[in-house]
Amino acid sequence: MTEKNIIELKGVEKRYGSFLAASGIDLDLRQGEFFSLLGPSGCGKTTVLRMIAGFQEPTQGAILIDGQDMAGVPANNRPTNMVFQSYAIFPHLNVANNVAYGLRGRVPKAEIDARVTEALEMVELGGLHQRGANELSGGQRQRVALARALIMRPKVLLLDEPLSALDKKLREQMQFEMRNLQQSLGITFVMVTHDQYEAMTMSDRIGVMFDGRLEQVDTPATLYARPCNRAVASFIGEMNILPATVLEETGGMLSIEAAGFGRMRIERNVNATDRARDIIVGIRPEQLEIKADKPADYPATLKGKISNVAFYGENIHYHVAVENIDKPIAVSVPNYFHTVDFNRGDAVWLGLQVASVIDLGKERKSS
Ligand code: ATP
């Protein structure tokens, strides 16, 4: 990845009639990065991708690719290429002809042949030139669709939910493959997904969208550790949210009184910009320890009762009901010893490392 911006969105807005599908989008994408637009269905992420591709024009603002204003530039004249959700490849053509499709009539036949072979090798389909498109597995079809886009040598590859048609296992395999491919080619990939794990495992940075707005743009690790508000915190992984009152703020630290746990000092989250006396704080389920007896080695503890146990294999998720806290607290425990230690109805203690409590700022009504 370089520091050079390959795509710049400046104040981009898209209206469909009176409906605002995207608004106030300011975003710089770096050359060579894997960027994902993440958000729930209908939040406007495909709309943003389609505006970059040139299938739709913004109603306001500007899109620059490689420094050039794209206003009025049709999709086929942009240095971008798109891979669609349904990986629409032609069923009556063989693999080689599918991949060669966009180059036909543009470059000499010998060059097409060489580039088809090169593109098929990139996606690990070397030698499958003659195979009929309808004789391929779902994963192979997705790779043909990728090869067909890559053969055009785009500066930016746009991917609209590229893996959503695949089953879980294959999807996870393709996530690794696509990430490796992107890194070895050094092309900028911009992917739309509603799958937080997909976005986190594949991306250098993620832009989280809600209701047509870009809420936060950050690396997966920062989004997870320092989400800017409740909506982002709850969309990226699971988060226990508790109300808290700020007693004092000094030198980047907040002294707070947090529901159930009492007084503690936590770091002020620079990404949470809505400040108030009454705030909410977040605790990730894996940052709580669950014990049969009151733990002496934790600064903050809470007594509760197991209300639910879910076994995930590598870890176990407990829900712990606590008096005076509305929702059960989620706790995730690594399954080191392959045992389920607690059962529904057990009385337990929760231990909390205060340093892991995340300031989420003021509760927003809309989120
Ligand atoms: P999904 O994950 O379901 O594809 P998305 O986040 O990609 O969702 P968009 O496809 O960008 O969402 O759509 C954003 C909003 O704009 C939705 O409410 C959608 O119904 C609306 N919308 C999209 N295209 C049009 C259109 N051509 N005319 C009118 N409304 C549209």
The residue segments making up the domain with residue 344 are 230-359
* Centroid of ligand 1 to alpha carbon of 101 (angstroms): 29
pLDDT for res 134: 87
Specify the residue with its C-alpha closest to ligand 1, atom 16.
Answer: 21
Token pair recorded at residue 266 = 């936590």
Judge whether 366 lies within some domain: no
Position with higher pLDDT, 94 vs 298: 94
Q: Do residues 236 and 174 share a domain?
A: no
Are residue 196 and residue 299 in the same domain, yes or no?
no
User: In degrees, to the nearest 5, what angle opens at C-alpha 222 toward C-alphas 217 and 223?
Assistant: 55
One domain for residues 181 and 42: yes
Taking Cα atoms as reference points, which of 5, 59, 61, 74 lies closest to residue 33? 5
* CA separation for the pair 315, 281 (Å, rounded): 24
pLDDT above 90: residue 129: yes
Domain limit, last residue, from 176, 197, 225: 225
Model confidence at 122, pLDDT cuts 50, 70, 90, reads confident
Tens digits of per-residue pLDDT, 329-349? 999 999 987 777 899 999 999
365 domain-assigned? no
Do 20 and 89 have their domain in common? yes
The DSSP secondary-structure symbol of 102 reads G
Q: What is the DSSP string of 33-97?
A: -EEEEE-STTSSHHHHHHHHHTSS--SEEEEEETTEE-TT--GGGSSEEEE-TT----TTSBHHH
pLDDT at 86: 64
Burial class, 131, CB count within 10 angstroms (exposed 0-12 / middle 13-18 / buried 19+): middle
Q: Using CA positions, which residue lies closest to atom 28 of ligand 1? A: 16
> Does 158 lie in the same domain as 245?
no
Task: Judge if 161 and 263 occupy the same domain.
Answer: no
Domain assignment present for residue 29? The answer is: yes
Tokens of 357: 């409590």
Q: What is the mean pLDDT of residues 94-110?
A: 91
Percent of the chain at pLDDT exceeding 90: 69
**How many domains does the structure of the chain reveal?**
2
Q: Are both 70 and 111 inside the same structural domain?
A: yes
The span from the CA of 22 to the CA of 97, in Å, is 37
Q: List the one residue out of 243, 277, 280, 278 whose CA is nearest residue 259.
A: 243
Question: Quick one: 316 and 214 in the same domain?
Answer: no
Verify that 134 and 261 share a domain, yes or no. Answer: no
Give the confidence band of 38 by pLDDT, cuts at 50, 70, 90: very high
The rounded Å distance from CA 159 to ligand 1 centre is: 16
Print burial letters for 293-304: b (CB count within 10 Å at least 16), e (below 16). eebeebebbbeb
In a domain, 364, yes or no: no
Q: For the chain, how far is it from start to end, CA to CA, in angstroms?
A: 33
What is the per-residue pLDDT across 161-189, written as a single tens digit (0 to 9) for each? 888 877 888 888 889 988 998 998 899 99
Q: What is the pLDDT of residue 273?
A: 87
What's the rounded mean pLDDT across residues 248-272? Answer: 93
Pick from 13, 36, 47 the residue to mutate for probing ligand 1's pocket: most ligand atoms within 8 Å of its CB. Answer: 47
Question: Where is the domain boundary, 225, 242, 277?
Answer: 225
Whether 367 shows a pLDDT value over 60: the answer reads no
Distance in Å, CA 44 to ligand 1 centroid: 6
The CATH number linked to 137 is 3.40.50.300
Bigger pLDDT: 285 vs 104 = 285
Mean pLDDT of 311-330: 93
Spell out which residues line ligand 1, taking CB within 6 angstroms: 16, 19, 21, 39, 41-47, 194
Question: Exposure pattern of 36-66 as b/e (b: 16+ CB <10 Å)?
Answer: bbbbeeebbbbbbbbbbbbebebeebebbbe
> Which ligand 1 atom sits closest to the C-alpha of 43?
6
In-domain check, residue 145: yes
In angstroms, rounded to a whole number, what is the distance separating the alpha carbons of residues 345 and 321?
Answer: 10
- Among the listed residues 22, 282, 54, 234, the one whose alpha carbon sits nearest the alpha carbon of residue 156: 54
- Token readout for 79 is 């240095």
Q: Are 357 and 288 within 8 A, CB to CB? A: no
Rounded average pLDDT over 273-283: 92
CATH code of residue 262: 2.40.50.100
Protein residue with least CA distance to atom 7, ligand 1: 46
By the 8 A CB rule, do 38 and 194 touch? yes
174 and 258, same domain (yes or no): no
Other Cβ atoms within 10 Å of 314 Cβ, number: 8
Helices marked H in the chain: 45-53, 95-100, 109-122, 138-150, 168-185, 196-202, 220-225, 230-235
- Reported ipTM exceeds the 0.95 cut: no
Range ranked top by mean pLDDT from 14-28, 128-142, 163-177, 284-298:
14-28
Distance CA 48, CA 26 (A): 11
Average pLDDT of the chain? 92
User: 54 with 12, same domain?
Assistant: yes
* Closest ligand 1 atom to Cα of 56: 27
